[in-house]
Chains A and B, each alone.
Chain A
């Protein structure tokens, strides 16, 4: 290999390296953007479930003693009206949440489109097309030449060089297109992410408060009352329940502290601008989702123990 070939190969390797770094950044943005959007949509459902659950839990606390049921305030009719009113509000919110999910689908469609753009095998496809074309040129030349000279018009070396050059140029064009798209759409996507941040805050509040109300009810029913009455529920299960209560209460306190310390506002995080400056860190947006998943897991533990 001569010096020129070595230099050219080095330059090609460097160019490919730089380009793949940019593509990696854009791919991270597209992948985590899509993941974030899908997770937010799932947490909307969980939030609605939590809102309905904590509302129903509170109704158990206000269960009217039999002796009071005859009064006009707690008559059959009045109680049915109360339940209807509560149901109407909760159903209305569930419908609003479905609308939000539909909007998130539109945002996800963008990220999937961006993913397709980033992952498009432009260089391979163009390189193959050029190679085919070179083969066809040689084939046609051979046919016209009637085999007089026997050597192809585009030599193997030339063909390889052409293919490699096509690959590099295509990579450059692809990379530029991706970068341009990310910059061009920055504002609209930053808005989508900021609104999603708000949805997450809202979902987190409902899920967290459902956990606290479940824990309160669990404590009263499974720990406090058996202890106060020293009844037969004071057994080994009571020990486990008390331990779970103490663990959950500590978790709730810790969560509240962490939540207060966390920078909630997606506007301040300026996600997209960090992406554009190529210092994109997907852990920023995934942390809140991880925290909420922890809440859901804790809720499941309490739910299981309450059912025993």
Chain B
């Protein structure tokens, strides 16, 4: 496996762990009963919840970018492997194609022999 992918994977592990913490904080906040909170307390709560939402989206975006980047780097390799497998399949089919072509030629020749007898 490419070294860069392994390095990126380590970074992603850290991002995932931070993302998970943000989710947990949001869950905790969502369990708070703010129905009777004072306006300034509610405003602070509202702000925090909103900012955490933005941060979660941003971390998700960073993770997606990073995985996309690694996939893009590997894409030529995947495509080349797919082509090679297709070539293998073609090679397997070729033997029968050649034999069938010989059979067809022989059938034609046999017909000609019978015809000119």
Contacts and interface: CB of A to CB of B under 8 A. Distances in A.
Contact of A133 (B9, B99, B110): B99
A143 B61 contact: no
Contacts, number: 209
Given A97-B64, A129-B103, A212-B27, A62 B50 contact: yes
A110 B91 CA distance: 17
Contacts of A97: 64
Contacts of B16: 201-202, 205
Interface string B63-83: 111011011101101111110
B27 A213 contact: yes
A62 B23 CA distance: 16
Interface string B31-42: 101100001001
Contacts of B96: 122, 125-126, 128-129
Contacts of B68: 96, 99-100, 103
A137 B19 contact: no
Contact of B99 (A93, A106, A132): A132
A103 to B, nearest CB: 4
Given A96-B68, A136-B103, A195-B71, A267 B9 contact: yes
A181 B95 CA distance: 19
Interface in A159-184: 170, 173-174, 177, 180-181, 184
Interface string A212-225: 11001101100010
Interface stretch (A51-59, A239-247, A277-285, A287-295): A51-59
Interface range for A: 35 or more
Main SS class of interface, B: helix
A90 B103 CA distance: 63
Interface stretch (A8-16, A63-71, A149-157): A63-71
A177 B46 contact: no
A129 B2 CA distance: 45
Contacts of A213: 26-27, 30
A106 B82 contact: yes
Contact of A110 (B39, B81, B102): B81
B50 A181 contact: no
Main SS class of interface, A: helix
A146 interface: yes
A73 B1 CA distance: 50
Contacts of A303: none
A110 B89 CA distance: 12
A173 B94 CA distance: 13
A26 to B, nearest CB: 11
A269 interface: no
13 contacts: A58-B53, A64-B42, A89-B61, A90-B57, A106-B78, A113-B86, A117-B92, A133-B103, A137-B106, A195-B5, A202-B64, A213-B26, A267-B1
Given A74-B43, A216-B31, 16 more contacts: A61-B30, A62-B46, A67-B39, A86-B54, A93-B64, A100-B68, A103-B75, A116-B89, A117-B92, A129-B103, A143-B117, A181-B85, A184-B81, A188-B74, A188-B77, A191-B1
Interface of B: 1-2, 5-6, 9, 12, 16, 19-20, 23, 26-27, 29-31, 33-34, 39, 42-43, 45-47, 49-50, 52-54, 56-58, 60-61, 63-65, 67-68, 70-72, 74-75, 77-82, 84-86, 88-89, 91-93, 95-96, 99-100, 102-103, 106-107, 109-110, 113-114, 117
Interface of A: 51, 54-55, 57-59, 61-62, 64-65, 67-68, 71, 73-74, 82, 85-86, 89-90, 92-93, 96-97, 99-100, 103, 106-107, 109-110, 113-114, 116-117, 120, 122, 125-126, 128-130, 132-133, 135-137, 139-140, 143-144, 146, 170, 173-174, 177, 180-181, 184-185, 187-192, 194-195, 198-199, 201-202, 205-206, 209, 212-213, 216-217, 219-220, 224, 267
